[in-house]
Amino acid sequence: MKPKVFFLPGKDKSELLERLPLLLGRLIDKGFATNAFCGVKVHVGEEGNVTFVPAEFARAGVHFLKQKGARPFLFETNTLYYGQRSNTLDHLRLAAEHGFGSENVGAPLLIADGIRGEASARIPLKGKHVREAQIASLVPNIPCIVGFSHFKGHMLTGFGATIKNFSMGCAARNGKLQIHSLSKPWIDVERCTSCGECQIRCPSDAIEIKGGDFVIVHAKCTGCAGCIGVCTAKAVRIKWNEASKSASQKMAEYALAALSGKEAFYVNFLVNITKDCDCLGKKMEPIHEDVGILASRDPVAVDQACLDMVEEEIGSAHPEVDPAVQLAHGERIGLGKRDYELEEL
């Protein structure tokens, strides 16, 4: 049987907000046990970005889940790159500035991978690339998940939405490094202040002083990414050298690991559709008019349906990247199905 994808068309934010409960009601046609924990996966947008999914939608989702009897909370993970979301304190401050504070949304935001992205849980996997996924430690303990994902272009994978939100967005820092890079981190001596913090924190004794400089000995380094988080000088660098195809396939495998054993519902917002993702800390112009909101219980089907609606623009935004790779691999490994039945509301 084809998975159902519900489509709420609309270009006006107020109208979409008003009709969101209708969509969620079709998607989540059940009540929850009283006060059952339910995590809503969001992305609060990097500092300077203005095209992330507005917090009003998270607030409406929280309100809906409370009416269904659940005890909702928002969750997110810290970033691999240095920015305003690479540690929990700055991340929460920025989230509040972007409207994701509990007083506005009606539920707290939890950062799921520790204060610097160091808290990971190992999930074994028989993937083509991933044998052990490093998922944010909170994620395996969340019994029910609702994904609020922004559909937009992405320079590495063509587009990002639900699969990206539950792979990169649910990986701890070492998991993000595994997806993004084929190599171990290195230290930029021009930036390094020789504070020694990374050497103290390295669990593999892989950081040594050679010729007066701190260096990472790659033969010893396990790629845990701990040194990236502790370096306040931003001197531990990453080669963003993973090829598009394998990164896309790794993302599908990570999503499978993050979602295993969970009850999950996926909502994709086709609003503010930009060429690049919400991790870019700058103002971007949309490349496509707003389409509406799509929702499904199948993470592959909901992303495929979105791509089908805007593929021409997304495809031309990053012509060197095949956006279907993550979908094809997702279907191959049992994450979901690409063939779906669309129901317009």
For residue 109, give the DSSP letter. Answer: E
Site string for ligand SF4, 232-271 (x = CB under 6 A): -x-xx-----------------------------------
Identify the residue among 27, 95, 179, 206 touching ligand SF4 (CB under 6 A). Answer: 206
Of the pair 233, 324, the CB lying nearest ligand SF4 is at 233
65 makes contact with ligand SF4 (CB under 6 A): no
Identify the residue among 74, 144, 145, 227 touching ligand SF4 (CB under 6 A). Answer: 227
CB 67 within 8 A of CB 20: no
Shortest spacing between CB 180 and ligand SF4, in angstroms: 13
172 makes contact with ligand SF4 (CB under 6 A): no
208 makes contact with ligand SF4 (CB under 6 A): no
Shortest spacing between CB 80 and ligand SF4, in angstroms: 11
145 makes contact with ligand SF4 (CB under 6 A): no
Q: Which residue type, as a one-letter code, is found at position 22?
A: L
Identify the residue among 69, 101, 223, 286 touching ligand SF4 (CB under 6 A). Answer: 223
DSSP string, 191-252: T-----HHHHH-TT--EEEETTEEEE-TTT-----HHHHH-TT--EE------HHHHHHHHH
Shortest spacing between CB 198 and ligand SF4, in angstroms: 3
Continuous H helices in the chain: 13-27, 55-67, 88-97, 102-105, 162-165, 173-180, 197-201, 226-230, 244-259, 299-317, 325-332
**Residue 167: exposure state from Cβ atoms within 10 A (0-12, 13-18, ≥19):** buried
221 makes contact with ligand SF4 (CB under 6 A): yes
Any bridge partners for residue 124, and if so which? 132
Cβ neighbours around 316 below 10 Å, total: 11
Identify the residue among 42, 109, 225, 295 touching ligand SF4 (CB under 6 A). Answer: 225
Of the pair 197, 313, the CB lying nearest ligand SF4 is at 197
For residue 261, give the DSSP letter. Answer: T
66-125 binders of ligand SF4 (CB under 6 A): none
Identify the residue among 10, 83, 185, 299 touching ligand SF4 (CB under 6 A). Answer: 185
CB 241 within 8 A of CB 316: no
Identify the residue among 47, 56, 90, 197 touching ligand SF4 (CB under 6 A). Answer: 197
Q: What are phi and psi of 314, to 5 degrees?
A: -65, -40
**Residue 33: exposure state from Cβ atoms within 10 A (0-12, 13-18, ≥19):** exposed
Shortest spacing between CB 47 and ligand SF4, in angstroms: 22
Q: Which region among 74-82, 227-235, 271-279, 334-342 touches ligand SF4 (by CB under 6 A)?
A: 227-235
Identify the residue among 35, 222, 241, 316 touching ligand SF4 (CB under 6 A). Answer: 222
Identify the residue among 35, 194, 241, 316 touching ligand SF4 (CB under 6 A). Answer: 194
CA distances 195 to 189, 192, 201, 231, Å, are: 12, 8, 12, 9
Of the pair 2, 218, the CB lying nearest ligand SF4 is at 218
CA distance from start to end of the chain: 20
204 makes contact with ligand SF4 (CB under 6 A): yes
Q: How many residues bind ligand SF4 (CB under 6 A)?
A: 28
Residue numbers at the binding site for ligand SF4 (CB under 6 A): 184-185, 187, 192-198, 202, 204, 206-207, 214, 216, 221-227, 230-231, 233, 235-236
